[in-house]
Amino acid sequence: MTHPNDTDDDEQFFESDTPANSPPSRRTFVQAAGAGAGTLALGASPASAQESRPTVSVTLADDQIESGGATTATIRIENSPEGSAGCTTEFAVDPDVAQITAVELGEYGRDIIEDQLNSEIEANGGSVSSIDPSVFGSIDETEYELATLRLEGQGNGTTELELVDFVLTPPDDGTIENASYDAPSVTVGTDSGSGADPVALDTPTNLEVVAGNETSVEVSWSSVSNAVEYAVSVDGTRKTSTTSTSATITGLDAGTTYEIGVSAVGQGGVASDAATVQVTTAAGAQADTPTLTVDLETAMIQPGETTTVNFGLTEAPTGLVGFQIEPSVDTEVATIVDAELGETYRSTLFREVETGAGSAMLRAIYTLDAGTTDIDFGHVELEAVANGETAVEVEIVRLEDTDANSVEATVEDATLTVGGQSDSDPESPTPPEGLEVTAETETSVELSWGSVSNAVEYAIFVDGTQQTTTTSTSATITGLDADTTYEVGVSAVGQGGARSDVVTVQATTKNAGNGEGDQNEGGSGGYPEWDSSVLYQSGDRVRWNGEVWVAQWKNQNAEPRYEVNYAWAPLNGEIPLEVDYLAKIKPSATTVGVGERIVFQVREQTASSYWVDTLQWDLGDGTTASGWYVGHSYDSSGTYAVTLTAVDNLGRQTTHEIEIIVS
């Protein structure tokens, strides 16, 4: 979507002095007067602006903790336009003082986004210094809870919970990119103003198991008066924390006995002894082990030729919430030149594809129901380099069911042979018989022919140039000129690419005209000028404003113009772009160190009638990817040109480029 206030590729941030009447360590984000949209300034703002913009508020369960202790920060959005379509934020803390160890989205949050955020925390070693909790969808309240963050103390000091970014999408067009915000502070270490030791807590009582199934149990206990939260452990290892007096523990194995523990945690992170209880999960039916399929479309090719490897899963007995696979090959025999996710995953919010010469990565989060079969993960394209053999290895990095349990799967073996041949060369197919033209229009011809027994597909030619292939015994060739004679041909293609001779036939497209008199009247180019009094039929062509137009359906008095799903469409052109870029790159940083992870996101620029259909990345070091979100790190220093090529629903394309400096 076009942000009406966007003026520059780079977002600038600056800090002003804290007003004298503001509390210490508190800062307010406001839009800087005269600054471009997307710019956040720190300082006071006019009262009218304060009243109109949203407010972000944070409630800390405890603003002082010990190193290793924890507190929670509950974030709320207030004064939000009713019916807004979503809110994207980013919060950060000083990593030397505290780290974010978990996030729980509010009622408008989506499980898939919450899972992704917590997966990123886990992948980063269990804690991060910044997080971007976001909600999407129709939000019918003006005040709502955005998220709750769990903060864990790292070292003595004080850190603010800083609001780094804020974008709210109101129900009408545009975005709101500033909000009122007072940054709360968390102190880690002993409060110098208090000489009293933290009060020891009582151990929770009445701990019991209230519900359970094959993979989860629910426990409850009595409240401890001076507790700020409760730590829940499984077999002595802390799993989660909660401010409630009950918790559900998931991801357990069926038919297994566990010791569940609960400790009360007080001010400063002081914890009581743990109350424990034994529980055995229900014995579940043994699910069949699924197979990760590795299907080589052609297992034997020659140097310079390509083949496709398809990856999938035979079934998901307990459902599937996400996957990450990393196929690899021997680069002395073949290289990976392209990769793409399967159709199910191409439009998901969280998806990522990366390719290198010897390996690729396909990753997506999307929930599939238990029992789903024939799951298409995606494919890679291999190009043969030199004679030899290479196994197509596949590492399963992540494969999780809907209960967040790892799915064990067997991986099929697959081997690509380059330059070899079978004991006997495949027999070339015979030429197709009975080739004939079965239909003609102004711009297309339809062909049919007899089947060839050992053909795996047929190649279609126009005037000696191959146009397409098909596994059918008929084809329609489009994009031809009116009233023109072509030589169209068909060749049978067998195993290993062996081809028959091409059989041909002459085909002449129909004469152009709109059925309303002489086709040459009304101007040059063979088509009449558009006339508001004429009733046009679907397929009729006219000239208007120097362009040739084709009627999409029966219409009268509808002046030709550039518009999607309109009565007329341009014949020899496309609808012009309304923006310089369909999408722009939004990096988490433009200067990073070697090995430091950088995240690239997408800012869509399209008008409301159009949308981005595909996104392709070139990260400047030989790595390519696709999708709305890409994470990457560079192995050596230098300046890298990162490009994002976007194609919209009309096939229009733009490429945005930025530079990343790695030191």
DSSP classification of residue 132: -
Q: Could you give the C-alpha distances from 187 to 62, 464, 565, in angstroms and in order?
A: 9, 77, 59
| Mean of pLDDT values over 98-103 | 93
| Mean of pLDDT values over 527-548 | 85
Instruction: Count CB atoms within 10 A of the CB of residue 34.
Output: 6
pLDDT value, residue 56: 94
d(CA 504, CA 622): 43
Please choose, from the candidates 304, 498, 496, 329, the residue with its C-alpha nearest in 3D space to the C-alpha of residue 387. 304
Pairing of strands 291-296, 410-411: parallel
Query: 402-447, pLDDT tens digit by residue?
Result: 887 888 899 999 999 998 654 445 678 899 999 999 888 888 888 9
Asked if 655 and 580 count as a contact pair (C-beta separation under 8 A), the reply is no
Helix (H, G, I), strand (E, B) or coil at 651: coil
Of the pLDDT bands very low, low, confident and very high (cuts 50, 70, 90), residue 36 is very low
| Mean of pLDDT values over 533-562 | 85
d(CA 279, CA 217): 8
DSSP classification of residue 427: P
Tokens coding 550? 């084709």
Of the pLDDT bands very low, low, confident and very high (cuts 50, 70, 90), residue 31 is very low
Give the number of C-alpha atoms closer than 13 A to the C-alpha of residue 181, restricted to the C-beta side.
27
Q: Could you give the C-alpha distances from 193 to 189, 196, 197, 374, 458, in angstroms and in order?
A: 12, 9, 12, 64, 84
Map out the domains of the chain with their CATH numbers: 13-188 (2.60.40.680), 208-280 (2.60.40.10), 291-418 (2.60.40.680), 436-508 (2.60.40.10), 583-662 (2.60.40.10)
Of the pLDDT bands very low, low, confident and very high (cuts 50, 70, 90), residue 7 is very low
d(CA 179, CA 165): 10
pLDDT value, residue 339: 93
Query: 192-230, pLDDT tens digit by residue?
Result: 444 455 667 899 999 999 998 888 999 999 999 888 899
Cα angle 612-616-618, degrees, rounded to a multiple of 5: 145
Question: In what side-by-side order are the strands of the sheet with 372-384?
Answer: 334-341, 372-384, 306-316, 291-296, 410-411
Query: 561-574, pLDDT tens digit by residue?
Result: 877 777 888 876 56
Q: Is 533 exposed, middle or buried (0-12, 13-18, 19+ CB in 10 A)?
A: exposed
Q: What is the pTM of this model?
A: 0.34
Pairing of strands 485-493, 457-462: antiparallel
Asked if 353 and 340 count as a contact pair (C-beta separation under 8 A), the reply is yes
Helix (H, G, I), strand (E, B) or coil at 102: strand
Find the largest Cα–Cα distance for the chain.
Answer: 101
Our CA dihedral for 548, 549, 550, 552, rounded to 10 degrees, sits at: 170
Terminal Cα-to-Cα distance of the chain (whole angstroms): 34
pLDDT value, residue 603: 86
Report percent pLDDT > 90 for the chain: 41
Q: Which of 179-193, 511-525, 635-649 has the lowest mean pLDDT?
A: 511-525
Please choose, from the candidates 522, 561, 558, the residue with its C-alpha nearest in 3D space to the C-alpha of residue 545. 561
Which amino acid, residue 76?
Answer: R
Residue 524 has pLDDT above 70, yes or no: no
Query: 354-411, pLDDT tens digit by residue?
Result: 999 899 999 998 889 888 999 999 999 999 998 899 999 999 999 998 887 888 899 9
Greatest mean pLDDT range, 132-136, 358-362, 466-470: 358-362
Tokens coding 401? 């069911």
DSSP-derived secondary structure for 9-75: SS--EEE-PPPTTSPTT---EEEPTTPPTT-EEES---HHHHHHS-EEEEEES-SEE-TT-EEEEEE
Length of the chain: 663
For 157-173, give the secondary structure using H, E and C.
EEEECEEEEEEEECCCC
